[in-house]
Chain A
Amino acid sequence: MRTILYIIQKEFIQVFRNKAMLPIIFVIPIVQLIILVNAATMEIKHIRLAVVDKDLSQTSRKYISKFNGSPFYVIDQYTFSMDEAENELKKGNIDAIIQIPSGFERKLVRESQSKIQVIVNAINGVVAGITNAYIQNMTIGYNIEVVTAIAGKPTIMNPPADININYSYWYNPQLNYKNFMVPAVLVILVTLIGMFLSGLNLVREKELGTIEQINVTPIRKYQFIAGKLIPFWVLALTELAFGLFVGKVLFNIPILGSIWLLFGVAAIYLVVVLSIGLLISTMTNTQQQAMFVMFFVMLVCIMMSGIFTATETMPGWAQRIDYLNPIYYFMRTVRMILLKGSGFKDIINEIICLMVFAFAMLRMAIWRYKKTA
């Protein structure tokens, strides 16, 4: 036990002696929270439209005003030339064009059907899909209005059956995307600090050759691994507390569940992350290699954890692979605890999975670490 304490002491001294490390540990969370949470908005708003209204009738103007009233759209340009509008679309100054051909209103009254053209820059498929849905929905509504406007009164005698749909959004009535992102940033933060610090630490000793000196001491393998793990485990947990505090102060995120439960899960999760970091560094020879492997592992795991988009939207095979992704469990539980107030009973499965991971990864790291060079 004393041996482990000495190694821990040594590690702490090393971390705190490195002048650049401390700012990194405490500045990164703030920067990340501010930038990531604000930048990572998948909210769709300000879709820029160009309107080519060649009809200039009352019906066409009213139709266009429907877009003006929507929170999603901004009418950026009015023009009469389709070429000009298409050019703007190419330049990327606008996102969609609505063209109303001349004789639109006349045709609508005479032939009872009239067409308009909508051209959407579909490079961002999500925006294009929503624009399409919005236009279709809005036009159906507008058609009813037109009937009243042209015919004077509703021509339909027997009122159609209607279902009134009432929405309620639990846990986040304003659909604030930030609430979703702050917990995610905390997860990234803890993972990043934990994995990189532990992973680079061991391989650095290898690269500089100081590992040899430790290898010839009577320190046992598990003692060495424990001595390497515990300091970063403490640091990362401190980091989580710090991040949570900053998140609360800056974004006032809801903390509905038990903080103790959150830290309990984080403590288990960190063993997994730190062990993976150590495992990678036992398998690599230079910091550059280790960094690349870690970066790769982290990127894939984070992207698949449902950070930006719900895991339910992934294909089935990807969802099954996710059962092997520790970040997926942690991401889920952090959000559940913070945003929904889920208790121990609700997340027992995730906790068990994380424990299995922690045990397996730790065993692997100890097994892979060889005292012989």
Chain B
Amino acid sequence: MKEFRGFVIKEFYHIFRDKRTMLVLFGMPLAMMLLFGFVITNEIKDVNIAVLDRSKDEVTRDITSRLVSSGYFKLYDNLNNDKEIGKVFRRGIVKEVVIFEPGFGRRLEKERIANIQILADASDANFANLITNYTSAIIRNYVNETNHQQTFPYQIVPEVRMVYNPELKGVYLFVPGIMAMILMLISALMTSVSIVREKELGTMEVLLVSPLKPIQIIIGKVMPYVALSFINAIIIVILGYWVFELPVQGNIILLMAECLLFIMLALSLGILISTATESQQIAMMLSMVALVLPTILLSGFIFPIENMPKILQWLCVLMPPKYFIIILKNIMLKGTGLAYVWKETLTMIGFTVFFIVMASKKFKVRLE
């Protein structure tokens, strides 16, 4: 037992001495939270548009100033002819062009109908969709206001209630994913690399001939990463609470227990990878492709799984982070208890057991 303690202490020294990695490890959750919280948004503000006004009357000027004063758009340029449209789009600054037909105001007055054309740069399809929706909402509002004397005699009024995230903040969606990613990164990737490193540098041999049992070596190696991951999980929860006012609705003990379970799962994966590879670069590439990428893409972190093609949805079933993210969303945002997530929890336990069995089968005590 004394040897084991010594070994664990050595491992802790190893990791905590490495200032640069520590900086990244603790800077990462912070940067990710800020990034996703503030930067990855769908808010529209001051988007550059251009206007091709073939009418130049009071109404068109009115609508243009409506668009600009909404705060969503900024008038970048007044165009004079069709040819300029392609030019401004190709330069990539203007995202939308609004075209008023000749005699716009007169037609609206006399014929009660007039035409506006909205051209959007749809090389970014979603963004184009979003800004054209905003533009048409502003124009419709204008029309409604000019028709204000008429109201409908019968009205259905929808009362919409946004549950779990009343202010529609983007962070709510991302926090569980960030947590999964960082835990995966530290637990699986760091572990696999640090074990393979001992192999590559030849120091594994020294450890294997020591009186420590292989199981003790492995446990000793992963201990610091368990601690690190756990601290990071707590940091993320606290950050979410302080910076983004994201409360933990459910039971915090349950939340931490699920985090620990996921850390175990990731560690066992890391160990499995380390038993299968011989060089750090391969271990890294494997971890990146097999762990980090799926955690970002195939777990419902950023992209909803329901929207993917069927084959990818089946692939998602095999991704452990998917279950963790579902659990986190339930406990943190919806405030549900174990009764709602027992299936996911069991699945994660199953994964962990499977990986540990696989790893212990592949683990070699001898170097060939």
Report which A residues bind B (CB closer than 8 A): 20-21, 24, 28, 31-32, 35-36, 38-46, 48, 63, 89-92, 108-109, 112-129, 131-133, 135-136, 139, 142-144, 146-147, 150-151, 155-156, 158-173, 175-177, 179-180, 196, 200, 204, 207, 283-284, 286-289, 291-293, 295-296, 299-300, 303-304, 308-310, 312-316, 318, 332, 335-336, 339-343, 346-347
Contacts and interface: CB of A to CB of B under 8 A. Distances in A.
B127 A312 contact: yes
Interface string B113-152: 1111111111111111100110011011011001100101
Contact of B133 (A115, A127, A133, A287): A133
Contacts of A166: 115-118
B177 to A, nearest CB: 11
B347 to A, nearest CB: 15
Interface stretch (B1-9, B332-340, B356-364): B332-340
A126 B162 CA distance: 12
Contacts of B41: 309, 313-315
Interface stretch (B168-176, B237-245, B260-268): B168-176
B285 A24 contact: yes
A303 B20 CA distance: 22
B35 A108 contact: no
A168 B119 contact: yes
B217 interface: no
Interface of B: 18, 20-21, 24-25, 27-28, 31-32, 35-36, 38-48, 89-92, 95, 108-109, 112-129, 132-133, 136-137, 139-140, 142-143, 146-147, 150, 152-166, 168-170, 172-173, 185, 190, 193-194, 197, 201, 279-282, 284-285, 289, 292-293, 297-298, 302-304, 306-309, 312, 315, 326, 329-330, 333-334, 336, 340
Given A31-B289, A125-B165, A163-B143, A292 B24 contact: yes
Nearest to B277: A20
Contacts of A135: 158, 160
Contacts of B166: 122
Contacts of A313: 41-45, 127
11 contacts: A38-B309, A48-B306, A117-B161, A135-B160, A161-B113, A172-B122, A173-B122, A176-B125, A292-B25, A296-B31, A312-B45
A173 B146 CA distance: 32
Given A113-B155, A118-B160, A161 B280 contact: no
